[in-house]
Amino acid sequence: MNKAFEDFLGWTCANEWGSEETQKKTLNNGVTLSIWDSGVLEVTPSKPGKKDIVLSCAVHGNETAPIEICRDIINDIITEKQTVVHRTLFLIANPASINKGERFVEENMNRLFSGAHGNGKAHNKERERAAKIEQYVRRFYETAPEGERERLHYDLHTAIRDSKREKFAVYPFTHGKSYNKHQLQFLLACGVDTVLLNQAPTTTFSYFSVNEFNAHAFTVELGKVRPFGKNDRSKFAASEQTLRRLISEDSVDFGEFDPNKHFIFKEAQTINRMNEDFELNFADDVANFTSFDKGDLLARDGDKNLYALHDGEHIIFPNANVALGQRALLTVVRVPTESLELE
C-alpha cells in the first residue's frame, strides 16, 4: 500500500499545503477511494445511497479531537472495518496549522469562505487552500448521481474555552428557510443538544455549504481544544458513533422529536474587534454560555463600551486577540424550541 492510503493523516501533514499527486484505489468491498489533494479524500460506494456527506476537520489545526475522529474513521474505511453506503468527502482542511499545533498559520481559515479568500490585497497559503477547498466541495456536490439527494456537511471543531454546555452547534443563517428537525435529532444523537441560530451571513465554512449548495451544514463544537493524545475519547464516543452510522446506514432513525431535549439559542450580538485597544470585561477562564444581564459591560473597543442588551445574554467564543474587523464575541439568548419554524 502506498503511504497516502497507509496513513492518510500522516501523508496529509507531510504535504501540508497540498499535493498534486492524485491517487485512486478500489477496495475489495467495492468502495472507491480517490485522493484529490492532501487532506481531501472522496469515498464512493459501488452503489451510492442518496446522501452526499462532507465531514471536515482541522479548519483550525489545534482542534485535535475532530482530527483524531476523522483519522480513525478514514483508517477503518481503508482497512474495510468501516462500511460506507453514501458518498462521503473527508476534508482535513489546514494541515500546516496541524503541524504548527496552532489555530492557524497566517489567517483564520474559517473567515475565508464564500469568496472572502479573495477580498482585499492579502495573499497567503490559507487563502489559496480555502479557495481550493471551496472547489472540492463544489466538485463533490455537483458530481453526485442524478435524482433527489440530501447534501450534508458537518464541520467539526473544538472550542478554546470551557463551556457550560459542552457540545453545541452553530446553525448558519438560513435566509428565512425553516430549520430541519431531522438535523436537530442527528445532532442530539451526537450528544449536541444545544444549537445557536446565526441571524446573518458569515464567511465560515458551514455557511458556505448552506448558502451555495443548499446543504444541511453546521459548525459542530464537540468539546474543548486539547493536544493530540490528550482527548478523552469517551466524551466523543456518541459523536463518532453517530457519524459512523450516518455514513454506513441507508437512513438512520433518531427517534421521535422532543422539543424539551433541545436547547436553542438565537444570536443576539456579534461584536467585532474594530480597534487595537480592545478588551473583554471578564476573565480568560469565564466559560462559554456564561450568562450576563442587560446593561452588563461585556467589552471595550477603543472608546466604545459594549453592553449586554438582554437579561440572560450568554457569551460564546470570546477572544480579544482576533484580527481587526473579526468577531471577538458572539452573544446569544435562549428561545423556546417551539418558537422555531421546523420542517
Ligand X SMILES: O=C(O)CCC(=O)N[C@@H](CCC(=O)O)C(=O)O
Q: Does 244 bind Zn ion (CB under 5 A)?
A: no
Instruction: Give the nearest distance from C-beta 193 to ligand X in angstroms.
Output: 17
Question: For ligand X, which is the closer residue by CB, 78 or 170?
Answer: 170
Record the cell numbers describing residue 282, joined without a space.
Answer: 471578564
Please list, in sequence order, all residues whose beta carbon lies within 8 angstroms of the beta carbon of residue 232, skipping any fewer than 6 positions away: none
Record the cell numbers describing residue 202, joined without a space.
Answer: 458569515
Q: Applying CB under 5 A, which part among 63-71, 120-128, 179-187, 329-337 lies near Zn ion? A: 63-71
Instruction: Give the nearest distance from C-beta 335 to ligand X in angstroms.
Output: 18
Question: For Zn ion, which is the closer residue by CB, 60 or 153?
Answer: 60
Distance CA 326, CA 266 (A): 20
Beta bridge pairs of residue 270: 330
Q: Which of 71, 117, 129, 157 is the binder for Zn ion (CB under 5 A)? A: 157
Q: Choose from Zn ion, ligand X, none: what does 160 bind? Cβ within 5-8 Å by kind.
A: ligand X
Please say whether the beta carbons of 180 and 257 come within 8 A.
no
Q: Choose from Zn ion, ligand X, none: what does 206 bind? Cβ within 5-8 Å by kind.
A: ligand X
Instruction: Give the nearest distance from C-beta 265 to ligand X in angstroms.
Output: 12
- Interface with ligand X (CB under 6 A): 60, 110, 157, 159-161, 170, 204, 206, 219, 317, 319
Distance CA 41, CA 44 (A): 10
Question: Residues at the annotated binding site for Zn(2+)?
Answer: 60, 63, 157
Binding site for Zn ion (CB under 5 A): 60, 63, 157
